[in-house]
Amino acid sequence: MKIIIYLLSVLLVSCEFVSYSDWAIAPYDGDLDWELINENPSFSNRIDHALVSFDNKLWVLGGYDQGARDHDPYMEDVWASSDGVIWTCITEDAPWKGRRGHEVIIFKDEMYLIGGFAVDEDSGIRNYQNDVWKTIDGENWSEVTAEASWPARFKHQVVQANHGGTDYLYLLTGMGMNEEGYGQYAVVYYNDVWRSTDGETWTEMTSSQDIGQRSTAAAFVNPESNRLYIVGGLYLVIFDDGADSSYDGKPSANWDKMWYTDDGSTWNYTGFGTSTRADNQIEYYEDRFWVLPGRSNSIAHINYNSGPEYYSTYTYNGSSWTKDSESSGVGARYGYAAAVHNNKLWVIGGRTADDGPDNDVWAGELQ
């Protein structure tokens, strides 16, 4: 007992504790001029929601508010705004039910909602999903498929790329349920790649290399070359390949690199300094990619606000990375949504360093 008390006293003396109210990151000094457009818009706080620019409007779809007391924490609402200030509720009860960790993408002039974790408050049923929905107005939805051929999941990535002259939806990685496991074994992280021309029929791609089991990664496509990238994300300590020490704690060889493909099948990798970042977004704006804040992954096991490696801003021009700022123009946060709209880079909501889930609306413009 004396040894335990001694060790605790050493720990307390050697640690420096900082409260949320006292903790702050350095001012942003990069190339973007960030503005808080709306500190408290009409929709509620949320994380793991979706944001797209469509039909000259910003659209916020679904999400999760763990602190909700007066409404369902799993939301199936759809909101739209042309300026980020005034928001209109298109529907409070979309047919895809309350969900989080879903993907929404514009494909062939329609909004597609793909996968996620959904909760039906009427029936009490809660499941990972592999359904696909689409709409042209945010209010009237049609179900493309109730059960796609890929395993149900959330916090996956969906992007659009033209390969071989054909426009494809690509679905990559994500997190789902292991029906035969329990506890930490009940979660499975995927390393698969699927594509579709219509959202209904999907083909699993045979990858030349293992891009690594992961969820909450950042996937993005170069609009000039249609090269598809994926980097970062989360993984657990249980992997299909067992305890192979040659991977040095990673789920697969070169997991921590940035992976890319020009056809969906042949994958290569290159190093990138923020590959330990998860639950962040990378957006293409003004001829470069912008790496926005996130949290640590399970390589580091450190909180998201513990250092600039998780909230500093980077840019990528297709060949090299540049640190835009040691800080973030939207503060330390993760689980937010981002999009480019009206020649600005937008960030909405997420889990912030202030007081948990937020609904604030930010816009960054190149100076």
pLDDT at 3: 43
What is the domain partition of the chain in residue ranges? 39-147
pLDDT at 298: 56
| 50-54: strand order across its sheet | 50-54, 57-64, 74-81, 88-91
pLDDT at 238: 43
pLDDT at 248: 53
pTM, to two decimals = 0.90
Q: Which of 30-44, 196-210, 294-308 has the lowest mean pLDDT?
A: 294-308
Say which residues have a Cβ less than 8 Å from residue 184's Cβ, sequence separation at least 6. Answer: 236, 237, 238
Per-residue pLDDT tens over the stretch 297-340: 754 444 444 566 678 999 999 888 999 999 999 999 999 999 99
CA angle 127, 59, 227 (to 5 degrees): 80
pLDDT at 301: 45
Q: Where are the alpha helices (DSSP H) in the chain?
A: 2-14
Per-residue pLDDT tens over the stretch 265-306: 999 998 775 567 899 999 999 999 999 999 877 544 444 445
CB atoms within 10 A of CB 190: 20
CA distance linking residue 112 with residue 128, whole number of Å: 17
CA distance linking residue 99 with residue 95, whole number of Å: 11
pLDDT at 356: 76
The structural architecture, per CATH, of the domain 39-147 is 6 Propeller (2.120)
Look at phi and psi of residue 115 and say left if phi exceeds 0, alpha if psi is from -120 to 50, else beta: left
Place of tokens 């709409």: 135
Amino acid at 137: D
Q: Which of 32-46, 57-71, 108-122 has the lowest mean pLDDT?
A: 57-71
Q: Which of 1-15, 60-74, 247-261 has the highest mean pLDDT?
A: 60-74
Per-residue pLDDT tens over the stretch 58-94: 999 999 998 777 778 999 999 999 999 999 999 999 9
- What SS3 class is residue 336? coil
